[in-house]
Structure 1
Amino acid sequence: MKVLLFGATGMIGQGVLRECLLDPEISEVRSVVRRPSGTAHPKLVEIMHEDFLDFTAIEDQLRGLDACFFCLGVSSAGLSEAAYRRVTYDLPLAAATTLCRVNPAMTFGYISGAGADSSETGRVMWARVKGQIENALRRLPFKAVYLFRPGAIRPLHGIRSRTPLYRALYVVLGPFLPLLKVFSPDSLTTTEQLGRAMIRAGLHGAPQAVLEMRDINRL
C-alpha cells in the first residue's frame, strides 16, 4: 500500500508518519512538505511544494496512491474566520479535489476535531468551519472518506507539539494523563492510537465515516 501524508511535521502528523513507517502493510509514504523535514527512511519520499492551493506542478507525483492522511491544521486562537478557513477549509479541499481526480479509488482520512459542527450553523467559529470541510470532503467521489474527531491527545515517543501553549500544557498536565486514560479512557487518545486508527481506516475501512474519540480508541 502507498499512502500520502500532509502535515508530517505537526504533532499528529509526526505520530501518523511514525506508525506508517512501522507498518508492514505500507510500502511507501509520500509526504508533501514545504521544506525538508530532516527525517530519513527507506519508505519515505518527501515531495517539496510551496503552493498548497494548487497542486498542478506535482500532480504526477500524486498518482498511484491508496490512501491520504490529511493531518495539516492550525489552532483557531487569535485567527480571524477568514484566516482559519483558509487553512482548515481551502487547503484540504484543494488537495482532496486533486487527489480524487487522479486517484478515484483512494481513501481519504482527515483530522477534524471533537465538537465539529456538521450543521454548519453553530456560533462557535472553529467548529462551524470544521463542519463545513467535513461535509465538503464527504461530497467528493473518493472510495471512502473518514473524519477523525480527536479531543485531548497525549504525544508519545518523543513527539512534541509545535504550539507553545500546548507544549506548556503537556508539561503541566503530562504526569496526570496516564491516570486520565485509566479512569476515563475515552476522554484521551495518544498519537500512536490515532496514527494506528487512521491506518486501519485507510487500508481496511471503518464502521462509520465520522470517528469520535471512542471510535478512534477502538479502531
Structure 2
Amino acid sequence: MRIILFGATGMVGQGVLRECLVDGDVTRVLCVGRRPSGEQHPKLHELVMSDLYDYSAALDQLRDYDACFFCLGVSSVGMKEDDYRRVTYDLTLAAGRALARVNPQMTFIYVSGSGTDSTERGSVMWARVKGATENALMRLPFRAAYMFRPGFIEPMHGVRSKTALYQAAYVIARPVFGLLQRWAPDRVTTSVKVGRAMLMAAKRGAPMPLVEVPDINRLGG
C-alpha cells in the first residue's frame, strides 16, 4: 500500500507516520508539506512545496497512491473565521481536488475533530468550518472518504505537539491519562490507535464515513 501523508510534523501526523512506517503492508509513504518531516526511513519520501494551494506542477508525483491521510491543521484560537476557513477548508480542498483528479480510486482520510458541526450552521466557528470541510470532501469522487473525529489524544512513542502550550498540557495531563481512559473512554484515544485506525480504514474500510472516538479505538485496537 502506498500512502500520501499531509501534516507529518504535527502531533497527529507524527503518530500516523510512525504507524505507517512500521506496518508491513505499507511500501511507500510520501510526506507532503512546506518543510521536510525530519525522519529518515527507506519507505519515506518527501515532497516539499512552498504553495499548498496549487498542485498543478506536482500532479505526476501524486499519482498511483492508495490512500491519503490528511493530518494537517491549525488551532482556531485567535483567528477570524475567514482566515481559519482559508487554512482549513481551502487548503484541504485544494489537496483533495488534486488527488481526486489523479487517484479517484484512493481512500481519503481527513483528521477533523470531536464536536465538528455537520450542519455548518452552529454557533462554534471552528466546528462549522470543519463541518463544511468534511461535507465537501465527502462529495469528491474518491473510492472512499472518512472523516476522523478524535477527541483527547495521548501521544505515545515520543510524539510531541509543536505547539508549546499544547505540549505543556500533555505533559501535565500524562499522569491522569489512565483515569481519563477509565472515566471517559469515548473521548480519549492514543496516537498509536489513530494511526492504526487510519491504516485499517484504508485497507478494509470503516462502518461509517464519520469516524468518532469509539470507532477509532475499535479500528485501532
TM-score by length of 1: 0.98
**Cα distance in 1 for residues equivalent to 2:139 and 2:7:** 23
**Cα distance in 2 for residues equivalent to 1:187 and 1:138:** 24
Structure 1 runs of 4+ with >3 Å offset: none
Determine if the alignment matches structure 1 residue 49 to structure 2 residue 49: yes
Q: 1:88 is matched with which residue?
A: 88
> Matched residue of 2:156: which SS?
coil
**Cα distance in 2 for residues equivalent to 1:107 and 1:167:** 31
**Cα distance in 1 for residues equivalent to 2:70 and 2:34:** 15
Residue deviations 1:53-79 (CA, integer Å, cap 9, x gap): 001111100000000000000110011
Determine if the alignment matches structure 1 residue 176 to structure 2 residue 179: no
Q: Offset of 1:151 from its aligned partner?
A: 0.7
**Cα distance in 1 for residues equivalent to 2:146 and 2:95:** 15
**Cα distance in 1 for residues equivalent to 2:69 and 2:24:** 17
Q: 1:192 is matched with which residue?
A: 192
Report if aligned partners of 2:4, 2:32 keep a CA contact under 8 Å in 1.
Answer: yes
Residue deviations 1:91-111 (CA, integer Å, cap 9, x gap): 110000010110110100000
Q: Offset of 1:134 from its aligned partner?
A: 0.5
**Cα distance in 2 for residues equivalent to 1:206 and 1:91:** 25
Q: Offset of 1:206 from its aligned partner?
A: 0.6
Which sections of structure 2, spanning at least 5 residues, go unmatched? Answer: none
Residue deviations 1:15-35 (CA, integer Å, cap 9, x gap): 000000000011000011212
Q: Offset of 1:167 from its aligned partner?
A: 1.0
Query: Which AA in structure 2 matches 1:114?
Result: S
Determine if the alignment matches structure 1 residue 78 to structure 2 residue 78: yes
> Matched residue of 2:58: which SS?
helix
Q: How does 1:116-195 map to 2 (within 5 A)?
A: 116-195=116-195
Query: Which AA in structure 1 matches 2:86?
Result: R
- The percentage of aligned residue pairs carrying the same residue is 60
Q: Offset of 1:187 from its aligned partner?
A: 2.0
> Matched residue of 1:57: which SS?
coil
Report if aligned partners of 2:63, 2:102 keep a CA contact under 8 Å in 1.
Answer: yes
> Matched residue of 2:57: which SS?
helix
Query: Which AA in structure 1 matches 2:50?
Result: E
Q: 2:40 is matched with which residue?
A: 40
Q: Offset of 1:36 from its aligned partner?
A: 2.1
> Matched residue of 1:185: which SS?
coil
Query: Which AA in structure 1 matches 2:23?
Result: D
**Cα distance in 2 for residues equivalent to 1:24 and 1:39:** 18
**Cα distance in 2 for residues equivalent to 1:94 and 1:133:** 11
> Matched residue of 2:186: which SS?
helix
Which sections of structure 1, spanning at least 5 residues, go unmatched? Answer: none
TM-score by length of 2: 0.97
**Cα distance in 2 for residues equivalent to 1:186 and 1:118:** 19
Q: Offset of 1:122 from its aligned partner?
A: 0.5
Moved more, 147-156 or 162-171: 162-171
Q: 1:29 is matched with which residue?
A: 29
